[in-house]
C-alpha cells in the first residue's frame, strides 16, 4: 500500500542531509546573522560620531543622547537596565569611564565602540540560538502557502504580533516572518494550522498542529476537543550534524507522547517530522517508523521537493 512518504521517499538514504545541503544551511544562517547584526553596526557608527564630540571620557556623562549606548558599553543588557535606578545607571557609566575609557587615552572613542559592540554581540548571539527553528518555520510556511495558492485555495493567516487573522492578498511577500497560523477550507471543511501551540490534551507546546475548525471556533474553546486534531508535527531546523541525533530524540519523545495522549481517547491523528540535520542512523530510525505506520510522514527540510510533497499532503488532509 502506497503511504504518504512514498510520494517523495524511496529509502532512508534519501532522508540524509547531504554535504551540499548542510553547507547551504550554514551559509543561510550566516547571512541571517549578518542581516540581524546590521542595526547594531549602524548604531555603533552613530555612537562613534557622537562620542567623538567629547574632548575627554568624562564629558560623555553630560551627553544625554548616548546614555543608553554607554550603559550597553558598560556591559549591561537591556533587561538589566530596566531594573536599575538612575543613580545605579550613572554609577555603571562612571565605572566604564574610569576603568576602561580613561586608560585608553586618546583612543577612548574606539574603546567605547568596541565595548558597545561586544555587548550587542552577546545580544545577537542570544537571538540566534533559535534562529534555525525560526527559519525552518518560515520555510515550511512558505511551502504550505505555495501549495494553497497553486491549488487555487484561499487562506487567511494569523499575524503573530497583533493576534489578528488577515485575509489572503495578492501580495503576501514576507508574511512568513510574522505568521503564526494559517486557515483554509479543504473540500468544504475548515482547516487551521497553528505553530508552537499548547495542545491541552498533550499539556505541552507542539511545533505544528492542524485542527478541523475555524479560527472563530478556536476562540470558543474548540482546541479543547481532541477529535478536532488532524495532524501534529515536530519541526527541527538546526543544521549542525553534531546536534542532529539529540533533536530527533527530543522530537521522537514528543511525538510518542502525543500519540499516547490521543490514544486514551481512541484517536490517532497523523504525526510527522521535518528536520534539517538528518544523519544516517537517524534516517534509518525515521524510515522504520514510517514503514511501520508509527509516523505518518517525514521530510528533510533542506530538500525542497520533500518539503513540497509533505505540504501538499498536509493541505489535502
Closest CA to 80 of 89, 70, 67: 89
Closest CA to 208 of 153, 162, 251: 251
Element spanning 231, H or E? strand 229-236
Place of cell 534519501: 14
Residues 84-96 pLDDT 10s: 998 999 999 999 9
77: confidence class by pLDDT, cuts 50, 70, 90:
confident
Average pLDDT in the chain: 92
How large a percentage of the chain has pLDDT more than 70? 98
Place of cell 557608527: 45
Backbone angles phi, psi at 26, to 5 degrees: -65, -40
Residues 189-218 pLDDT 10s: 999 999 999 999 999 999 999 999 999 999
Closest CA to 214 of 280, 156, 135: 156
Helix runs in the chain, H state only? 19-51, 67-73, 78-81, 86-96, 108-128, 131-150, 215-219, 244-263, 280-292, 304-315
Which CATH entry fits the domain spanning 32-128: 1.10.238.90, 3.40.50.720, 1.10.290.10, 1.10.3720.10? 1.10.238.90
Contact 57, 105 (CB under 8 A): no
pLDDT of residue 242: 86
For residues 28 and 164, the model is more confident at 164
Residues 232-254 pLDDT 10s: 999 999 888 888 888 899 999 99
164-167/155-159 β-pairing: antiparallel
pLDDT of residue 173: 83
130-315 CATH fold: Restriction Endonuclease (3.40.91)
Q: Give just the sign of the alpha carbon dihedral 281, 284, 290, 292.
A: negative
Residue environment code for 51-83, b if the CB has 16+ CB neighbours within 10 A, otherwise e: beebeebeebeeeeebbebbbbbbebeeeebee
What residue segments make up the domains of the chain, in order of their start? 32-128, 130-315
Residues 268-315 pLDDT 10s: 999 999 999 999 999 999 999 999 999 999 999 999 999 999 999 999
Closest CA to 234 of 128, 312, 157, 310: 310
Instruction: Using the predicted structure, report yes or no on whether residue 230 has a pLDDT greater than 70.
Output: yes
Which set of grid coordinates corresponds to residue 91?
554609577
pLDDT of residue 129: 67
Average pLDDT over residues 62-81: 91
138: confidence class by pLDDT, cuts 50, 70, 90:
very high
CA 270 → CA 2, 112, 215, 228, 254, distances in Å? 16, 55, 21, 12, 14
Instruction: Using the predicted structure, report yes or no on whether residue 155 has a pLDDT greater than 70.
Output: yes
Element spanning 157, H or E? strand 155-159
Instruction: Using the predicted structure, report yes or no on whether residue 53 has a pLDDT greater than 90.
Output: yes
Q: How many CB atoms lie within 10 A of CB 200?
A: 13
User: From CA 222, how far away is CA 227, in angstroms rounded?
Assistant: 9
Contact 271, 259 (CB under 8 A): yes
Helix (H, G, I), strand (E, B) or coil at 295: coil
Average pLDDT over residues 123-142: 81
127: confidence class by pLDDT, cuts 50, 70, 90:
low
Q: What is the total residue count of the chain?
A: 317
128: confidence class by pLDDT, cuts 50, 70, 90:
low
Backbone angles phi, psi at 284, to 5 degrees: -65, -40
Average pLDDT over residues 129-152: 89
Place of cell 575627554: 56
32: confidence class by pLDDT, cuts 50, 70, 90:
confident
Q: How many CB atoms lie within 10 A of CB 308?
A: 18
pLDDT of residue 290: 96
Contact 255, 271 (CB under 8 A): yes
Give the rounded distance of the alpha carbon of 194 from its chain centre: 14
Amino acid at each position: 500500500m502506497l503511504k504518504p512518504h512514498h510520494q517523495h521517499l524511496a529509502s532512508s538514504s534519501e532522508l540524509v542531509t547531504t554535504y551540499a545541503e548542510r553547507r547551504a544551511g550554514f551559509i543561510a544562517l550566516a547571512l541571517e546573522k549578518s542581516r540581524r547584526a546590521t542595526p547594531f553596526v549602524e548604531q555603533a557608527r552613530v555612537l562613534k560620531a557622537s562620542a567623538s564630540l567629547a574632548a575627554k571620557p568624562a564629558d560623555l556623562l553630560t551627553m544625554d543622547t548616548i546614555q543608553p549606548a554607554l550603559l550597553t558599553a558598560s556591559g549591561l543588557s537591556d533587561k538589566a537596565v530596566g531594573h536599575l535606578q538612575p543613580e545605579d545607571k550613572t554609577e555603571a557609566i562612571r565605572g566604564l569611564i574610569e576603568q576602561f575609557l580613561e586608560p585608553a587615552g586618546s583612543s577612548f572613542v574606539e574603546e567605547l565602540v568596541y565595548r558597545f559592540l561586544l555587548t550587542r554581540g552577546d545580544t545577537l548571539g542570544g537571538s540566534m540560538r533559535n534562529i534555525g527553528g525560526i527559519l525552518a518555520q518560515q520555510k515550511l510556511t512558505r511551502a504550505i502557502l505555495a501549495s494553497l495558492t497553486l491549488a487555487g485555495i484561499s487562506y487567511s493567516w494569523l499575524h503573530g504580533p497583533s493576534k489578528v487573522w488577515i485575509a489572503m492578498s495578492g501580495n503576501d511577500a514576507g508574511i512568513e516572518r510574522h505568521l503564526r497560523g494559517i486557515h483554509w477550507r479543504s473540500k468544504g471543511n475548515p482547516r487551521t494550522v497553528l505553530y508552537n501551540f499548547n495542545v491541552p490534551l498533550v499539556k505541552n507546546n507542539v511545533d505544528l498542529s492542524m485542527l478541523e475548525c475555524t479560527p472563530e471556533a478556536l476562540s470558543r474553546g474548540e482546541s479543547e476537543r481532541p477529535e478536532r486534531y488532524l495532524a501534529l508535527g515536530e519541526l527541527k531546523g538546526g543544521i549542525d550534524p553534531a546536534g542532529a541525533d539529540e533533536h530527533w530524540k527530543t522530537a521522537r519523545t514528543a511525538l510518542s507522547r502525543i500519540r499516547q495522549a490521543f490514544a486514551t481517547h481512541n484517536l490517532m491523528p497523523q504525526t510527522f517530522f521535518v528536520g534539517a540535520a538528518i544523519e544516517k542512523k537517524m534516517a534509518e530510525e525515521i524510515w522504520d517508523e514510517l514503514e511501520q505506520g508509527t509516523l505518518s510522514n517525514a521530510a528533510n527540510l533542506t530538500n525542497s521537493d520533500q518539503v513540497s510533497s509533505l505540504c501538499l499532503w498536509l493541505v489535502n488532509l
